[in-house]
Structure 1
Amino acid sequence: MKPRLTIFDEPMLYTEGLSKLLSQSKIFNTINICNSFETLSKQLQEEAPEILMISSNMLMLTDLYKSIENITAENKDIKIIIIGNSYDVIDIRKLFNKGIKSYLDKNSRYDEFMKSIQALLLNEIYICNHAKESMIHFLSNEQEKANSHIKDPLTRREMEILRLICDGLSSKDISEKLFISINTVETHRKRILLKLNVKNSVGVVKYALENHIID
């Protein structure tokens, strides 16, 4: 069965043009347009769509967080696409934590929008290329900052194991997940403890939190 799409954006000229363009794809059963929060709320109460596109033009970021929480709490199966305004990585991560399934930026093109729709139809998430590049840059900088605090930087494998330790995995769990022996995991553990100058896993987690390796 084809999904229903609701577009929450303005101006009317843009939303109507997008609606007609999407109608030609024949992917959606219906396409509705909401240009105010009141009309959106009414439609969600009467007949919530499977896919909801929300533009950052319509809500401040703090209000957007609250709205996503409320919408997903009342409509657990709804898939939300956000069209952001060059949000930073932390804001994008928070949007996904609140319940969105796809993030596109104002610079995203129509073909990326269609890719995001296809991903949602497969119950996958989608992040536009612009946001992905920002995330890679952010993670690289964070790792450099973290490694700059220690004389002997952690290797890529050690960083991977550090994150798994922070997730609460045992050496056995880590060995199975990474397809390496328990002895190899234990060797990496000892090197991590030595490099970070901590005594146990608690110290590892504390280091990771302080250096924003984990939230």
Structure 2
Amino acid sequence: MFKLALVDDHDIFLKGLQKILEYEDDLKVVHSFKSGQEILNNISDLDIDILVLDVQLPDIQPEELLQALRSKLPNLPILYLTLLRGTRFFHKLQKFNIQGYILKDSPTEELIKAIKIVANGATYFSEKVEIAGFEDEYKNTVIYADQKVNDILSPREIEVLKLVCQEYSSADIAAKLFLSVGTVDTHRKNILIKLGVNNTVGLVKYALKNNIIT
């Protein structure tokens, strides 16, 4: 059971979201706030697993609110909500440890999925976000942080990943590892799914970040 707090200044949206989440057995809304100041006034009483936060509140700038939240709750997973595509807010929010970013007009199923993913310690970014410089391999993907590579990938998958990053084709990898091309393709697909990336660029970035290749 994940405990949530919701923050939105639009009463209809706030109550509607609460009603929708009531039908989820593993989600429970324990707090709802209509302003940034309201959540800051109650921050010491928060015992939640995720905060679903509207980035545009009339009483406080998003950077100011997030700085205050992060000073008290540095590790709290936050899923950011917005109405705007291509908003400049995204890049400003990156420095405050973004775990999720989703548009308010997203399908209900996607929002629920995003909430559960972020509450589980992963990140989720909606594919509808249209922001220059926001790379495609991170859209609509799940990226788990603070997990050792060996906990995510098998030894064989790590071998395949290294060779993929060295620009070997599936046929070349199959020959090197004495596998069939079909088996190699299956490994590649599973690696993409496990790491939550969509293409080879994402694999290379992951491998570099985790010192799988240098």
Question: Considering the TM-score relative to the shorter chain, is it more than 0.5?
Answer: yes
State the secondary structure of the residue aligned to 2:42: helix
Listed as ranges, the matches of 1:29-178 within 5 Å are 29-59=28-58, 63-88=61-86, 91-131=89-129, 133-135=130-132, 178=165
Identity value in percent: 15
State the secondary structure of the residue aligned to 1:33: strand
Tell whether the 8 Å contact from 1:69 to 1:99 is kept in structure 2 after alignment: no
Q: How many residues align?
A: 143
After superposition, the Cα gap between the structure-2 partners of 1:18 and 1:58, relative to the gap in structure 1 and judged at 3 Å, is same
Range with greater deviation from structure 2 (88-97 or 65-74): 88-97
Unaligned runs of at least 5 residues, structure 2: 137-161, 169-214
**Stretches (4+) displaced over 6 A:** none
What is the match of residue 206 of structure 1? none
After superposition, the Cα gap between the structure-2 partners of 1:9 and 1:91, relative to the gap in structure 1 and judged at 3 Å, is closer
State the secondary structure of the residue aligned to 1:4: strand
With normalisation by structure 2, the TM-score equals 0.56
Output the amino acid matched with 2:37: E
The structure with the largest alpha-carbon Rg is 1
Tell whether the 8 Å contact from 1:4 to 1:29 is kept in structure 2 after alignment: yes
What is the match of residue 2 of structure 2? 3
Q: CA deviation at 1:134?
A: 4.0
Q: CA deviation at 1:42?
A: 2.4
State the secondary structure of the residue aligned to 1:77: coil
With normalisation by structure 1, the TM-score equals 0.56
Deviations 1:2-32 (A, max 9, x none): 2211111133233122112101112224432
CA-based RMSD of the aligned residues comes to: 3.0
Unaligned runs of at least 5 residues, structure 1: 141-174, 182-215
How far apart are the structure 2 equivalents of 1:80 and 1:29?
Answer: 15
* Structure holding more helix per residue: 1
